[in-house]
């Protein structure tokens, strides 16, 4: 146990100070403080010694230097049972500081409020993190508090131990303190990297906040957690049981597709992180029905993501099918009332969810594979018609729609589409021919359309057999990336069969 006689308080977040100060007063703990914190403590009518008086050194450089003083850091860092340390303190007339209560300048919040570089720089805390690191290093003798939500714990600890703290308590808070300084520095590092357009620096530091710990991971014997760079995610669960690891994986897959679709249009149905039906029909109810028709069997127990607000009429249809999760840009009052009748159905409001500056991660052991997310918006200029037969505007829309969905299907990927609705999806096969066959089989099993069917492939056809299989099934137009040594053979086949062939200037795998 270590008794606390002197505390140093320097906080940007001045909430909940009064109960803390009452506890310190009750335990006869001397308080040292500076700047706005000193003024706040005096305003609350508690005794406090200003740092400049304690160090006999004035604040300088407009407050940039106030706690960066040997008397402060020697008081924190000295080992209480080390004779050399004790001698140094005595020779310099320094005294112990047993409790450090610090939270930092709001750098992260400042970034949300302004782009003014000078203001941002002035909100980089130096003295605060330095004191916290000193106290955390010397946890055997010093207690460190880094957030206002720890005040209650400290008060309880002081009450329980008559003004002292236990080693276990101090060590736990030390661990949290080092995490706080690391997090704070990582936000600053991230800011400077972004400011200088550096995506992959030599050393990469990530910062994130724990949002939730699902019951288990992909399987019951695995542990899992979800973190966010914000204090919370931009999706809001408004009903249903707790989301699982697999739910989150499917939700992110669904949202990646939904948010790539035109504003206020599109229904996406996802199963096991793969789309099994997508439609951007302008009628919201019809877009759901068309997406469901693509593969109603796979949709059972899946996730539906609507890139619009769900009405009561659509909710009636959704209510008929067993689904794990429904995502939307809001729900009408009556729609919500109906869908909430299913106790376990998770309802997610993703109105505020958007993609920007996204990095995609894959981890294995101690390695981390990182890339920028594939968020490219497609237009006609991204493609080149290479066949003699040219697509109509309607066919070109269908081709681009199919190609956009195809990039979110696990490779090897084939997507068949008609009227901006998926007609068949073949995913995750080692053989592109197998993906073609799966997509064709799905189309023949579930879809009945007299309209043109187009096909998209996420990579070039290395041989004629793939495109040949598609054409034989009734496909009239194909879109694929170029780059095969047999591109000319593919073009020749398309011309011989009166098939429209469009090459993408970019490739879009999703492994």
Q: Which residues are catalytic?
A: 137, 272
Determine the length of the chain.
Answer: 511
- Dihedral of the alpha carbons of 394, 265, 480, 493, in degrees to the nearest 10: -30
Strands (E), 51-167: 99-103, 143-145, 164-165
Coil, helix or strand for 323?
Answer: coil
Strands (E), 157-310: 164-165, 209-212, 226-228, 236-239, 267-271, 274-279, 303-306
DSSP state letter for 112: H
Per DSSP bridges, beta strands 99-103 and 49-50 are unpaired
Let me know the angle formed at the C-alpha of 96 by 95 and 98, rounded to the nearest 5 degrees.
Answer: 155
- Dihedral of the alpha carbons of 320, 323, 325, 331, in degrees to the nearest 10: -10
Nearest one of 476, 328, 316 to 391, comparing CA atoms? 476
C-alpha distances in angstroms, 248 versus 242, 325, 415? 10, 10, 24
Nearest one of 80, 78, 10, 4 to 39, comparing CA atoms? 10
258 close to 307: Cβ distance less than 8 angstroms: yes
């Amino acid at each position: 146990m270590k008794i606390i006689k002197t505390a140093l308080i320097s906080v940007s977040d001045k909430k909940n100070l009064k109960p803390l100060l009452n506890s310190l007063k009750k335990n006869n703990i001397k308080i040292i403080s500076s700047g706005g914190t000193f003024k706040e403590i005096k305003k609350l009518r508690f005794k406090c010694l200003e740092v400049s008086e304690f160090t006999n050194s004035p604040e300088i450089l407009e407050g940039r230097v106030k706690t960066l003083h040997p008397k402060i850091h020697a008081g924190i860092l000295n080992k209480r049972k080390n004779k050399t340390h004790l001698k140094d303190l005595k020779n310099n007339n320094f005294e112990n500081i047993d409790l450090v209560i610090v939270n930092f300048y709001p750098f992260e919040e400042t970034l949300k409020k302004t782009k003014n570089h000078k203001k941002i720089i002035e909100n980089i805390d130096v003295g605060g993190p330095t004191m916290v690191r000193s106290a955390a290093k010397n946890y055997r003798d010093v207690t460190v508090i880094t957030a206002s939500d720890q005040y209650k714990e400290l008060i309880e600890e002081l009450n329980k131990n008559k003004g002292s703290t236990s080693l276990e308590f101090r060590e736990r808070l030390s661990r949290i303190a080092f995490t706080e300084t690391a997090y704070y520095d990582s936000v600053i590092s991230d800011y400077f990297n972004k400011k200088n357009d550096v995506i992959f620096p030599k050393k990469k530091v990530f910062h994130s906040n724990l949002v939730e710990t699902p019951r288990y991971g992909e399987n019951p014997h695995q542990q899992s957690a979800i973190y966010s760079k914000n204090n919370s995610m931009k999706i809001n669960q408004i009903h249903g049981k707790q989301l699982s690891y697999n739910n989150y994986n499917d939700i992110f897959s669904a949202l990646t597709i939904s948010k790539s679709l035109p504003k206020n249009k599109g229904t996406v149905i996802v199963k096991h992180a793969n789309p099994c039906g997508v439609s951007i029909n302008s009628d919201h109810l019809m877009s759901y029905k068309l997406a469901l028709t693509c593969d109603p069997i796979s949709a059972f127990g899946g996730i539906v993501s609507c890139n619009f607000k769900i009405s009561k009429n659509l909710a009636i249809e959704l209510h008929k099918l067993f689904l794990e999760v429904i995502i939307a840009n809001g729900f009408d009052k009556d729609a919500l009332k109906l869908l909430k009748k299913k106790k376990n159905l998770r309802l997610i409001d993703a109105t505020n969810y958007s993609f920007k500056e996204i990095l995609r991660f894959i981890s294995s052991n101690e390695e981390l594979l990182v890339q920028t997310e594939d968020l490219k918006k497609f237009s006609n200029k991204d493609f080149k018609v290479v066949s003699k037969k040219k697509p109509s505007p309607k066919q070109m829309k269908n081709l681009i729609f199919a190609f956009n969905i195809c990039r979110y299907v696990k490779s090897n990927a084939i997507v068949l589409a008609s009227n901006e609705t998926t007609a068949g999806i073949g995913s995750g096969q080692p053989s592109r021919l197998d993906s073609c066959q799966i997509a064709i089989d799905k189309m023949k099993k579930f879809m009945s359309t007299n309209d043109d069917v187009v096909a998209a492939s996420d990579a070039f056809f290395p041989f004629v057999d793939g495109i040949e299989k598609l054409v034989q099934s009734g496909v009239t137009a194909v879109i694929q990336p170029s780059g095969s040594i047999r591109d000319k053979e593919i073009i020749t086949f398309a011309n011989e069969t009166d098939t429209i062939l469009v090459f993408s200037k970019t490739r879009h795998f999703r492994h």
